[in-house]
Structure 1
Amino acid sequence: MDEPEQVLDWLLDSDPALRWQVERDLADEPTEVWEATRARVPHEGFGARLLALQDPDGRWAGGAFFPADADPTGPQPWTATTWVLNSLREWGVDAGALGDTAERLADARWEYDDLPYWGGEVDCCINAWTLLNGGWLGVDVSGLVRWFEEHRMADGGWNCAWVEGSTRSSFHSTLAAVRALRDAERRTGTTTSAAAGEEYLLERRLRRRLSTGELVAPWVDDHTYPFRWGYSVLNALDHFREVGTRDARMAEAVDVVRSQRRPDGRWTRTDRFPGAVWFPVDGPAGEPSRWVTFLALRVLRWWGS
């Protein structure tokens, strides 16, 4: 699809973390242009700011998943190590910019049972991010691929609540798992059960209960960035775009994203995940969002190509 010039200009007037992706995926700039912008991410703007906040021991905010000073009665903070690594990886930061971070984090521990950082823990989403971040930073996290194979539900997906006895998959956990497993396949040539998890989502048209056909929950059509742990049809569509899977069962979700476009050609974001951040990377909830607009346009362009 063609983007209005004023929307494209608005997207390009952004931090290098977003700009290089707009240049590559929407503006069709030559490779040398977007690669040059991407190379700026560790040195200026969002990427440089996060790298400068790293603790001497390799962590951020003194914790793996929660900052050391987290208030257990408040909302989830987003300043600890895993959340920062997720952002830096998603923004295209080269692993070399993090120096010996991977080695330093080998001594870090999860808040759950004091387990070693690169070994993961019991939460599917946490293990998915650890698999993604470890692969990016060159850590041997192949044990986590096996962990996902051992913890897949009979219905094809995953659920972080398996520890509490759940036997039914969740949209959130399944999407996190298939993203990580597909990345492991690309990096190592490993064969995984990612396709089974993707089929779990496709059977449900990315947004409905298989048993009744009802909408799984209102949040399925809400979009924000960063995605955090949350599922949305935009998040799911972006995954299928990335792996190159087109399926007619996605059409309803695509229509939802298309219908949410404002008359000015932009999309807004919701505030699904309140909590402390190092600094904002997008505009206020309810206002036009560069990140959501970019993601939506990229998905729609792919779908219509």
Structure 2
Amino acid sequence: MERTEVIEWLLESDPSVRWQALRDLTGLSAEALAAERARVATEGHGANLLALQADDGYWGGEVYGVKGDRRSVMWTVQSLRRFGIDPDAAPARVAIDRVRAGVHFDDVDGGLPFFSGESEACVNGGVLAASAYFGVLGDGAQRMLEILLEGQLDDGGWNCDPPEESRRSSFDSTLCVLEGLLGYELAVGDATPAEVIAARHRGEEYLLERNLFRRKSTGGIVLERYENLIFPPYWVYDVLRSLDHFRAAGLAAGNGPDERIAPALDLVRAQRRDDGRWPAGDPWNGEVFFAIDAPAGQPSPWNTLRSLRVLRWAGE
């Protein structure tokens, strides 16, 4: 396929893919783009997930999901965010209001509301990102920020394991936190405290020093699964998810890519199929309501969309 054919293929995908492809890969007007984005709340995967919410605000009866189960509030809200659903769309507002009213982390401080977060860095990073995206920042956001800033490790990253168990950062936890901090900055703009911006930059430097996937000591890949590109990513790190974060941060600041991401870009390029599309990775463990991406090895709209926009930002 030529690149134009690949884009046309993306435009035939779920509305959540289609509107982002139009935004990131074409010159569609803002007015037309808003109409396309509105479809995410009423058609396709976005509408299907919204329809699965119970009146008490929960999905699957779980806040986070146990034993790998992804049928929960945490991962549904994260998917809706990654779909780019309009946070002001009426169906989305109903869903988020239900979460605010009824969902709690029952194992933390006697039952904190969902948008006040929990204790682990990766969870708070994800909840902070969702809070910022859906416009529900409040006292809970301040609580999470304080925990995250206090929990940043000496090497610049984060780890969900308690300090007495590990003083070394995790790529997974660090990226979850970075997405949350960036989301917060984008939501509050110039009101962002300087220490929040500094913490994000230190965390990004932790990944950049390692080319987004390498051991700093040996240069070898930290974990082979970082090359397994999956969507939705859940809490799991991979190089494409990381590159997508750096793209978003770069666009927000008006910056091009840091040269240290070049090896990660090469990893993504190497997975491009002869037809110009990218395959789906092996999905992460756990039950889901329904498959959002293609089966492993088949052409993936999500991996293709994200790879193309990252490479375009990188100048390709």
TM-score calculated relative to the size of structure 1: 0.92
Instruction: Output the aligned Cα RMSD.
Output: 1.8
Report how far residue 274 of structure 1 moved: 2.7
Q: Share of identical aligned residues, percent? A: 42
Q: Provide the C-alpha distance between the structure 2 equivalents of 1:218 and 1:239, rounded to a whole number of angstroms.
A: 20
Query: Is 2:144 aligned against 1:144?
Result: yes
How many aligned positions are there? 297
The 1:115/1:172 distance shift into structure 2, 3 A limit, reads same
The residue type paired with residue 213 of structure 1 is G
Q: Provide the C-alpha distance between the structure 2 equivalents of 1:128 and 1:215, rounded to a whole number of angstroms.
A: 24
Out of 226, 231, 236, the residue aligned to residue 225 of structure 1 is 231
Report how far residue 264 of structure 1 moved: 0.7
Listed one character per residue, the Cα deviations across residues 50-106 of structure 1 (whole Å, up to 9, x for unaligned) are 11111111111111101xxx6x4xxx1111001111111121222233335445434
Range 189-198 or range 91-100, more displaced: 91-100
Report how far residue 122 of structure 1 moved: 1.8
Equivalent position of 2:75 in the other structure: 83
Q: How does 1:256-267 map to 2 (within 5 A)?
A: 256-267=267-278
Q: Provide the C-alpha distance between the structure 2 equivalents of 1:234 and 1:115, rounded to a whole number of angstroms.
A: 35
- Runs (4+) off by over 6 Å: none
Q: Provide the C-alpha distance between the structure 2 equivalents of 1:146 and 1:42, rounded to a whole number of angstroms.
A: 33
**SS class of match (1:194):** helix
Q: Provide the C-alpha distance between the structure 2 equivalents of 1:283 and 1:59, rounded to a whole number of angstroms.
A: 26
Out of 93, 97, 118, the residue aligned to residue 85 of structure 2 is 93
**SS class of match (2:314):** helix
Structure 1 gaps, min length 5: none
Equivalent position of 1:120 in the other structure: 117
Equivalent position of 1:21 in the other structure: 20
Equivalent position of 2:7 in the other structure: 8
Out of 197, 201, 219, the residue aligned to residue 203 of structure 2 is 197
Q: Provide the C-alpha distance between the structure 1 equivalents of 2:46 and 2:96, rounded to a whole number of angstroms.
A: 17
Equivalent position of 1:214 in the other structure: 220
Equivalent position of 2:294 in the other structure: 283
Structure 2 gaps, min length 5: none
Q: Provide the C-alpha distance between the structure 2 equivalents of 1:110 and 1:163, rounded to a whole number of angstroms.
A: 22
Equivalent position of 2:159 in the other structure: 159
Q: Provide the C-alpha distance between the structure 2 equivalents of 1:164 and 1:94, rounded to a whole number of angstroms.
A: 41
The residue type paired with residue 88 of structure 1 is L
Listed one character per residue, the Cα deviations across residues 149-207 of structure 1 (whole Å, up to 9, x for unaligned) are 01000110000112662100011111111111011112123131100000000001111
Equivalent position of 1:54 in the other structure: 53
**SS class of match (1:90):** helix
Contact 2:50 2:95 (C-alpha < 8 Å) held by counterparts:
no
Contact 1:122 1:163 (C-alpha < 8 Å) held by counterparts:
no
Equivalent position of 1:133 in the other structure: 130
